[in-house]
Chain A
Amino acid sequence: MSDRPNTARVLALGALGVLLLIVVPWTLAVLSGVRPIILPSGWQLLDAADFLMRTDVLLHSTWVSLVRVNLGFLLAVVTAVPLGIVLGRSPLLFAAFEPVVESFRFVIPFAWIPLAILWFGTSEFGKLFIIWYAGFFVLLLPTIEAVQGIDKDLIAAARTLGATRWTIFWRVAFPAIVPDLLLAMRVAFAVCWIAILAAELVASRAGLGYMITDARELLQTEVVIIGMVVIGCIGAIYNALFIRLQRLVQY
């Protein structure tokens, strides 16, 4: 596209947005005398960030959360995508699964915290369960729809060229749904990452979610905000990576 603004301009506009939407109102609020416990100043934030870095709390929390979200997301992908492909191809199985799928997807991950604690205790499984659950349904339905939406003529063409079921699955159906899958994965990862906060409410001793809830109890507003900023930035980075990946497979 020729009317797409160049990279430098995009970055400049982005910076301007951050300035106008966050930095300016924030500075005005701090200058008007809001108490630090309600909204700390930029210097107080930097100070707290420096402390969190020196004590390794921030990096360690981030690392723990990243490992969890990646594992949980991966679990969601390897369970939801194959099931979605099967359900997309079998109207009978789809009819059997539909009520469960259509009702569970409205029960948000937070609602599972009590059961996750009862079932998995303080183990890592409870946290993974919440993240897996968050991503699972977001992946399942688009996968089913992608499979149902495969052009019938593509399958017919492959069959007339001598393809077996297995070949059709791997060389036609799968590549045909990859663009839809990547979009679904992008959305699902975002939902998993959002759910990290819920997951780390499950008897946690580490992670960004834990850092935030812990800081809230100690009234360390700076730490809460730093946690929020890190979560937001990592989310944006992953989103950008998925968009890159999507561009690679635009047919």
Chain B
Amino acid sequence: MSHMIEARQLTKRYVNERTGREVLALDHVDFTIAAGEFLCLVGPSGCGKSTFLQMVAGLEQVTEGTLTINGKPIAGPGADRGMVFQSYALFPWRNVIENIRFGLEIKGLSKAEMNEIAHAAAHQVGLHGFEHAYPKELSGGMKQRVGIARALANDPPVLLMDEPFAALDAQTREMLQEELLSLWQGANRTVLFVTHSVQEAVYLGSRIAIMTARPGRIKTVIDVGLQHPRDITAAAFGELMKPVYAALKEEVLKAAVSARALA
């Protein structure tokens, strides 16, 4: 199995602008993500899971250690890693197709090529009929569909998702989870998915990595042996959630204690 993303002794420190204090966000993290796997990263708030994702995206610098994609060190953002944001981060002055097209414009494709790819991506995520709508006219679920299509239009081998469904209602979330799975299964794409929902992690992930309270390290990695489609009401599903819950709860309590100590 080839390594898509590899972190070796990865450390991240930054200075909190408000307090002026140095924060150790990630502490010597060793971790690999295989090509084609769907990895869910869970952990208590502030544990550095989003920081890790942003470092893979190239939006945050590495302080110490190495972080590579396909064996090459990550120096900055690139079209080989698509990102989906919790806030959707759509360009409000562009309609659906124009949003999806953004990355293709940067690649310098011809107008015909761009429109063909953008329309195909829109169709793929169920945006048919909404091509010319503007973000403010769309529901949260539809906005995130645009966010996903925009990332996929570049056809990146790696898809980075930062709590993408956290702001959606339960039904929309379930629908998008299922659609995301079928998108992932259809293509040989590596997904790194940050979430704080254990159920979401067990439903989606091939593996689940649980992070410790700050400073963030990888506490345990759990293989999810279940086949897709998974039944969240099945006993086996519940059994898998238990160890993830237990590990996460321990860290959430630790985070709460250290937050109280700081306050």
Closest residue of A by beta carbon distance from B92: A251
CA–CA, A160 and B69, complex, Å: 15
Chain A binding surface SS class: helix
Residue numbers in B under 8 Å from A251 (CB-CB): 92-93, 134-136
Give residues of chain B (70-91) contacting chain A, Cβ–Cβ below 8 Å. Answer: 76-79, 81-83, 85, 87, 89-91
Least distance between B121 CB and chain A CB atoms (Å): 13
CA–CA, A172 and B135, complex, Å: 15
Stretch with Cβ within 8 A of A (4 or more), from B18-26, B101-109, B174-182, B194-202: B101-109
Question: If A151-B87, A153-B87 touch, does A160 touch B93 (CB 8 Å cutoff)?
Answer: no
9 contacts between A and B (CB under 8 A): A151-B87, A151-B89, A153-B87, A156-B57, A156-B85, A159-B77, A161-B151, A167-B106, A251-B136
A249 within 8 A of B: yes
Residue in B57, B87, B91, B134 whose CB lies within 8 Å of A160: B57
Residue in A160, A164, A172, A176 whose CB lies within 8 Å of B83: A160
Least distance between B82 CB and chain A CB atoms (Å): 7
Give residues of chain A (212-243) contacting chain B, Cβ–Cβ below 8 Å. Answer: none
B interface residues (Cβ-Cβ under 8 A, vs A) = 54, 57-59, 76-79, 81-83, 85, 87, 89-93, 102-103, 105-107, 134-136, 150-151, 154, 160
Least distance between B57 CB and chain A CB atoms (Å): 5
Closest residue of B by beta carbon distance from A160: B83
Q: Are A161 and B89 in contact (CB under 8 A)?
A: no
Closest residue of B by beta carbon distance from A164: B106
The count of residues in chain A whose C-beta lies closer than 8 Å to any C-beta of chain B is 20
A154 within 8 A of B: yes
A interface residues (Cβ-Cβ under 8 A, vs B) = 151, 153-154, 156-164, 167, 171-172, 175-176, 178, 249, 251
Q: Are A172 and B91 in contact (CB under 8 A)?
A: yes
Q: Are A160 and B106 in contact (CB under 8 A)?
A: no
CA–CA, A164 and B79, complex, Å: 11
Question: If A162-B103, A251-B134, A251-B136 touch, does A157 touch B85 (CB 8 Å cutoff)?
Answer: yes
Residue numbers in A under 8 Å from B91 (CB-CB): 154, 157, 172, 175
Residue numbers in B under 8 Å from A154 (CB-CB): 89, 91
Q: Are B106 and A249 in contact (CB under 8 A)?
A: no
Known: A159-B59, A161-B82. 16 other contacts (CB 8 A): A151-B87, A151-B89, A153-B87, A153-B89, A154-B91, A159-B76, A160-B77, A160-B78, A160-B160, A161-B102, A161-B150, A162-B77, A163-B106, A167-B106, A176-B93, A251-B136
Residue numbers in B under 8 Å from A156 (CB-CB): 54, 57, 59, 77, 83, 85, 89
Residue in B54, B136, B154 whose CB lies within 8 Å of A162: B154
CA–CA, A151 and B85, complex, Å: 12
Q: Are B92 and A158 in contact (CB under 8 A)?
A: no
